[in-house]
Chains A and B, each alone.
Chain A
Amino acid sequence: MPKPVKLEVSRRRLLAAGTATAMAGVVPGAQAQPHPSRQKPSQRPTGVSFEVNGKPRSLQVDNRTTLLDALRENLSLTGTKKGCDHGQCGACTVIVNGVRINSCLTLAVMHEGDRITTIEGLGQPEQLHPMQAAFVKHDGYQCGYCTPGQICSAVAVLDEIKAGIPSHVSPDLTAPPELTNAELRERMSGNICRCGAYSNIAEAIAEVAGSST
Chain B
Amino acid sequence: MKEFTYERAASTQEAAAKAKETPGAKFIAGGTNLLDLMKLEIETPRHLIDVNGLGLDKIENTQDGGLRIGALVRNTALAADMRVRKDYGVLSRALLAGASGQLRNKATTAGNLLQRTRCPYFYDINQPCNKRSPGSGCAAIEGFSRQLGVIGTSESCIATNPSDMAVAMRALDAEVETVDDRGRTRKIPIAEFHRLPGDTPHIETTLASGELITAVTLPRPIGGTHVYRKVRDRASYAFALVSVAAVLQRDGTGRVAVGGVAHRPWRVEDAEADLPKGAKAFSARLLADAKPTNDNAFKIPLVERTVAAALNDARQQ
Contacts and interface: CB of A to CB of B under 8 A. Distances in A.
Interface string B120-147: 1101110100000000000100111011
Contacts of B142: 12, 16
A73 interface: no
A118 interface: no
Interface in B21-57: 28, 31-32, 35-36, 39-40, 48, 50, 52
Interface in A1-34: 12, 15-17, 19-20, 22-23, 26-29, 31, 33
Contacts of A109: 6, 50
A52 interface: no
Grouping DSSP codes into helix (H, G, I), strand (E, B) and loop, the A interface class, with mixed when no group exceeds half, is: loop
B293 to A, nearest CB: 11
A17 B144 contact: yes
B79 interface: yes
B291 interface: no
Interface stretch (B93-101, B203-211, B276-284): B93-101
A19 B142 CA distance: 12
B313 to A, nearest CB: 12
Contacts of A62: 3
B144 A165 contact: no
A106 interface: yes
Nearest to B42: A29
A166 interface: yes
B88 to A, nearest CB: 10
Contacts, number: 154
Interface size class of B (residues with CB under 8 A): 35 or more
Contacts of B80: 163-166
Contact of B35 (A107, A153, A163): A107
Contacts of A187: 101
From A17, A46, A101, A165, residue with most partner B Cβ within 10 Å: A101
B265 interface: no
B144 A64 contact: no
Contacts of A189: 100-101, 235-237
A22 B92 contact: no
A99 interface: yes
12 contacts: A15-B139, A15-B143, A22-B120, A36-B1, A93-B102, A110-B50, A112-B8, A160-B101, A165-B80, A190-B100, A190-B101, A190-B237
Contacts of B82: 174
A189 B103 CA distance: 11
Interface stretch (A83-91, A125-133, A134-142): A83-91
